Amino acid sequence: MTDEVGEILIPSDRIAVRVRELGRTLADTYAGREPVVVAIMKGCVMFLADLVRAWGGTMDLEFVSARSYEGTRPGRVRVALPEDLGEKVAGRPVLVLDDIFDTGGTLAAVCCEIERLRPAELKTLVLLKKRRSRDGGSPGRSPDWVGFEIEDRFVVGYGLDHEGRFRNLPFVAALREDA
């Protein structure tokens, strides 16, 4: 395992500090409201668990799945929603949560599906955003909130995987190029 995982880019203590900041921002933003948090599985599972506890407000949690990556390369996005998501989301503020924004294709595809369900408001938050996605090629809007901007490398840990592995690392690390 360790020879595939390279440099630690974001240690767990920095993640914890940033997650607490984001929790405070969300507590302010959604004060007095009860949003539906729609988490894109599985990558944001660690982030979700830490964030909603730091946030501490009243909310519903819903899960959707989106798959795009084949190995370390993006492909066509497939989104799966629970059947009753429409009832939960209609007329409510919705916050879509993902682990990482790379091309933006995943977030755009999920937001497009959610918009059809007529939420009162739709906002997006990602833990990581790759720097290259800012300078073009992104099919959708940028996230409303970003935990960390990172360089354009394939990363693992804190929920992010490579072919299903390394999600349980407590930090974000680069996958070694030769892995």
Among the residues of 90-134, which ranges form H helices? 105-115
Radius of gyration of the chain (CA): 16
Q: Can you tell me the distance from the alpha carbon of 61 to that of 36, in angstroms, rounded to the nearest whole number?
A: 6
Residue 36: closest CA among 88, 80, 114 = 88
Q: Which of 13, 60, 102, 161 is catalytic?
A: 102
Q: Which partner, ligand IMP, Mg ion, none, binds residue 154 by CB below 5 to 8 Å per kind?
A: ligand IMP
Q: Can you tell me the distance from the alpha carbon of 77 to that of 173, in angstroms, rounded to the nearest whole number?
A: 24
Q: Can you tell me the distance from the alpha carbon of 94 to that of 96, in angstroms, rounded to the nearest whole number?
A: 6
Verify binding: residue 105, ligand IMP, rule CB under 6 A.
Answer: yes
Taking contact as CB under 6 A, which single stretch among the options 23-31, 53-61, 98-106, 113-121 is the one that binds ligand IMP? 98-106
Give the nearer residue to Mg ion in terms of CB position, either 91 or 164.
164
Give the nearer residue to ligand IMP in terms of CB position, either 33 or 165.
165
Verify binding: residue 11, ligand IMP, rule CB under 6 A.
Answer: no
In sequence order, which residues have a C-beta less than 8 Å from that of residue 174 and are 6 or more positions away? Answer: 5, 6, 7, 9, 153, 154, 155, 156
Give the nearer residue to ligand IMP in terms of CB position, either 11 or 137.
137
Q: What is 10-50 written as a DSSP string?
A: E-HHHHHHHHHHHHHHHHHHTTT--PEEEEEETTTHHHHHH
Residue 102 bears catalytic tag:
yes
Minimum gap (Å) between residue 17 Cβ and Mg ion: 23
Among 160, 169, 172, 173, binds ligand IMP (CB under 6 A): 160
Among 43, 119, 147, 157, binds Mg ion (CB under 5 A): 43
Q: Determine the size of the site formed for ligand IMP (CB under 6 A).
A: 18
Verify binding: residue 103, ligand IMP, rule CB under 6 A.
Answer: yes
Minimum gap (Å) between residue 89 Cβ and Mg ion: 20
